[in-house]
Amino acid sequence: AQTVTQSQPEMSVQEAETVTLSCTYDTSENNYYLFWYKQPPSRQMILVIRQEAYKQQNATENRFSVNFQKAAKSFSLKISDSQLGDTAMYFCAFMKQGRTDKLIFGTGTRLQVFP
């Protein structure tokens, strides 16, 4: 069975600064996908960034980038130039490769961005 662990329940960062959220996972699969989802207060969950395990290159989406270490089973999210709108719960999630959309989520990290 796969598990996803987020060891930081809460984090805070000042506007314009950089913050890194940690995620580790456990799986015996070789091919899979990893995601970071953002759930703003009282708003819908949206995808932040996606990584395919077979790709060595770390995914980047504007101010968001990941540090994917497959051997260490680590998948951290770096947010650069933090903005007030980044305040949200961030969930790391795992998906097996194949005919499935099943996501296994971590417990989440609540990020507060201060002005």
Binding residues for other proteins (CB under 8 A): 33, 37, 43-47, 50, 52, 91, 95-108
| Closest to other proteins by CB, 51 or 82 | 51
| Closest to other proteins by CB, 13 or 45 | 45
Which residues fall within 8 angstroms of residue 82, CB to CB, at 6 or more apart?
13, 14, 15, 16, 17, 18, 19, 63, 113
Q: How far is the CB of 14 from other proteins (least distance, A)?
A: 27
Q: What are phi and psi of 58, to 5 degrees?
A: -75, 135
| Closest to other proteins by CB, 78 or 96 | 96
The burial class, CB within 10 Å (0-12 / 13-18 / 19+), for 82 is buried
Q: How far is the CB of 54 from other proteins (least distance, A)?
A: 10
| Closest to other proteins by CB, 30 or 44 | 44
Q: How far is the CB of 15 from other proteins (least distance, A)?
A: 27
Q: How far is the CB of 85 from other proteins (least distance, A)?
A: 18
